[in-house]
Structure 1
């Protein structure tokens, strides 16, 4: 199947893909990627040093054209993580323009003079396309195997939900080794025919200086955009502002709407499922909620108590299984997230069952609800809530807060005035910053065990 359908269209598109230093037309990208693909003959799996550049787009495109599994490697991966990914994936080549240790694997330059190649025949829909490594609660990262069919199904579903067309220009500065930045942010434009402008880094200044119709960001990005009002107002001409990878605080939602004139689109997904739930471009945008299942996806809650349950999903967008492990045995995939689903089908993600469902004094408390209450306080800029073992309560609700000068006991009282008293944080730690990963998600395990 032609996963990257737009590359084969007869009409060229100038500046189809660009970063701050380089741009390629659609035909130039196809020519460069096809030439590189010819040098992958015989390989089954290749690693890609996934810098936020056009070079990474060329490398991933080459692998997909050739039918070789592509394994993006984070450019900031430490020695142990990089060695694990290369060893576990069985990658035979490292596609990279960066000098460095490839741990015994042959390297192949992405960018060097080559005659434009002829596009190879793309493989069947069921063939594996990407192996994305994702960390769990225990053990080293696992390789998530995503098929061409799953990628195509998800991108086509989002094209419908977001009214995403070839007339759009997507702007983002996200990493190119995750679903958000790579699958949505690169393969989306290459399948649907829109332009991609990657800003290198997701700063308010770079977003404001780059004209587009769609902008992708994680909550940290949008929070920083709102903290730069002049830059935020430059996004008023955009058609969609999309937030994902972590819950968007209601305060940021409201600030973004006030500054840009439109409420953001929120969506929900995982590496294993791709994007399964989203707000529609032509529908309501409800703060604190991620919308409805996308076409081809079903959801359900299990173990429902107090309106909250464990979210499971099934559909065409799900992964094949974890690399080097038995294939999935059940159509339904347990996400590990706790959610609510309203009578109208709207989903709200409470958080991870392992870290965001706190069992305190016989009550089940969603960390996200407490975080939202804390963020209503004018002094609070960021908040993360976890459950800490407690001899009497089972778990004690504990908050880590980045804030202007304020007394911790005042924040606890503030929450108690807005939620049930048992939901107030018993302990509030004032910190300079919250630990986050490359996608801006707060690393709550570091807070609980640090």
Structure 2
């Protein structure tokens, strides 16, 4: 800690070697990105070296840190790899954060340099943008920890937490992916939808893709038609990687073309309503895979073939157990920067705050929702996640959020016209009366965090509802 209370987190890493050996190795002619113009591995290496020189001129030193406030772009990728190749730490700040949020984060994390766009990033549906960057000197603080990357949690439930991961931790996760049946392999493509600032897009997409020789294809726009166009760019197999909100884009396409190269879609972030999953598989005839993970540890479990929905199987190297109904993950050290919080990590176990069970015979893990989703109604326990899931089985319900603010209230996003009394009547046949919402409110779009997760703050939802 500094004297003013800021957490100093810059740290040393393994330097250039792991970046070159794990991420940038391979033939120079291999295509890493299609934007749609191809970017090959040789070009990427040259750009990373150029960024490394620029960062050094601005004051980044081995063991220092650089805050990257950049949208998904080649600029983000090359600066990230350049920071790591310099033996530095990358602090990832979502470009959609407000200036106030960014200022608070930088004051707390004390980087040596801050990289940001020269001009405001246009709002809209673009998934990958072309930008010029400014690199500004900020501080001269030396290394404090050995984390290669620092991220802020999504904050969909509460305030963001500051999370650090070492290069060794990232490498272990990348290698875990190579042992999962059904992941894209060399010669295939990932149509990448989530932001690379957050763990799903960062490790599952960018880092794994670079390591495995899988071409990354961000669509030109975040629409269902543009995603299908990205799949159609090549005859090589393509896996779409995203979150449930992206799934809705594809299911909204009325008459999609036949795409034999469409291998599967994999979603992370939260459970997909059963009706939405079935609608997707009926429309496209490919599996909808599920991935469960956390910013703190990355991927925890998968069900890439959609065989066990909603359960997942822990990935190799991850140990999961359920204690008093809570899922816990073995992790030798706390992932949180600053004083260790025993309510989040203790004795080598990370407390996920997710309710769940582990099947003793199969090892399958069933995530039952957040622990704080359990409320008492007239002396009887109600799991709001169960109510959400049941609402998701109703025709026309694309997404649902259920909160308790003195009474159970449901907020629904529909993909077809349905009357609230009809929905309530269908729900009456599925849930006991004390579990059913007292009020059902329809929104055109449910509020989401920057990572695409549904926001469950009752105040935010009330303001969003008509």
Same fold (TM over 0.5): yes
Q: State the partner residue of 1:442.
A: 454
Q: State the partner residue of 1:118.
A: none
Distance 1:383 1:158, change over 3 A: same
3-state SS of paired residue (1:287): coil
Distance 1:422 1:344, change over 3 A: farther
Q: State the partner residue of 2:339.
A: 325
Q: State the partner residue of 2:369.
A: 351
Distance 1:218 1:9, change over 3 A: same
- Note if 1:216 corresponds to 2:230: no
1:197-346 to 2 correspondence within 5 Å? 197-211=217-231, 212-231=237-256, 233-280=257-304, 285-289=307-311, 291-303=312-324, 309-315=325-331, 320-326=334-340, 329-342=346-359, 343-346=361-364
Distance 1:200 1:323, change over 3 A: farther
Q: State the partner residue of 1:190.
A: 210
Name the CA distance, whole Å, in 2 between partners of 1:269 and 1:19.
Answer: 28
Deviation at 1:313, TM superposition (A): 0.9
3-state SS of paired residue (1:321): coil
Q: State the partner residue of 2:433.
A: 421
Contact 1:15 1:25 in 2 (8 A): yes
Q: 1:152 aligned to 171, 181, 187, which one?
A: 171
Deviation at 1:274, TM superposition (A): 0.9
Contact 2:156 2:449 in 1 (8 A): no
Give CA-to-partner distance per residue, 1:262-315, whole Å, 9 cap, x none. 22110111111211111155xx523333x1111111111122xxxxx2111114
Name the CA distance, whole Å, in 2 between partners of 1:88 and 1:138.
Answer: 21
- Note if 1:15 corresponds to 2:31: yes
Name the CA distance, whole Å, in 1 between partners of 2:314 and 2:187.
Answer: 25
Give CA-to-partner distance per residue, 1:144-165, whole Å, 9 cap, x none. 1011111111121122113442
Contact 2:193 2:246 in 1 (8 A): no
Contact 2:301 2:314 in 1 (8 A): yes
Name the CA distance, whole Å, in 2 between partners of 1:296 and 1:315.
Answer: 11
Contact 1:249 1:372 in 2 (8 A): yes
3-state SS of paired residue (1:439): coil
Name the CA distance, whole Å, in 2 between partners of 1:137 and 1:17.
Answer: 31
Name the CA distance, whole Å, in 2 between partners of 1:138 and 1:375.
Answer: 20
Q: State the partner residue of 2:128.
A: none
Q: State the partner residue of 1:376.
A: 393
Q: How many residues align?
A: 412
Give CA-to-partner distance per residue, 1:220-269, whole Å, 9 cap, x none. 110120110434x5554223311111211111211121122122110111
Name the CA distance, whole Å, in 1 between partners of 2:197 and 2:185.
Answer: 24
Structural RMSD (CA): 2.9
Deviation at 1:135, TM superposition (A): 4.6
User: After alignment, is 190-199 or 159-168 more displaced?
Assistant: 159-168
Contact 2:115 2:134 in 1 (8 A): no
Give CA-to-partner distance per residue, 1:75-124, whole Å, 9 cap, x none. 121121111121122112122342379xxxxxx96599xxxxxxxxxxxx
Question: TM-score, length-normalised on structure 1?
Answer: 0.83
Distance 1:258 1:405, change over 3 A: closer
Q: 2:409 aligned to 398, 401, 426, which one?
A: 398
Distance 1:201 1:335, change over 3 A: farther
Name the CA distance, whole Å, in 2 between partners of 1:173 and 1:190.
Answer: 16
Give CA-to-partner distance per residue, 1:420-439, whole Å, 9 cap, x none. 33322222223333111122
Contact 1:4 1:187 in 2 (8 A): no
Question: TM-score, length-normalised on structure 2?
Answer: 0.80
Give CA-to-partner distance per residue, 1:194-220, whole Å, 9 cap, x none. 111122543212211113522101101
Name the CA distance, whole Å, in 2 between partners of 1:214 and 1:137.
Answer: 27
Contact 1:49 1:73 in 2 (8 A): yes
3-state SS of paired residue (1:297): coil
Name the CA distance, whole Å, in 2 between partners of 1:195 and 1:6.
Answer: 16
Distance 1:150 1:234, change over 3 A: farther
Give CA-to-partner distance per residue, 1:341-370, whole Å, 9 cap, x none. 34523222222222x223323333332322
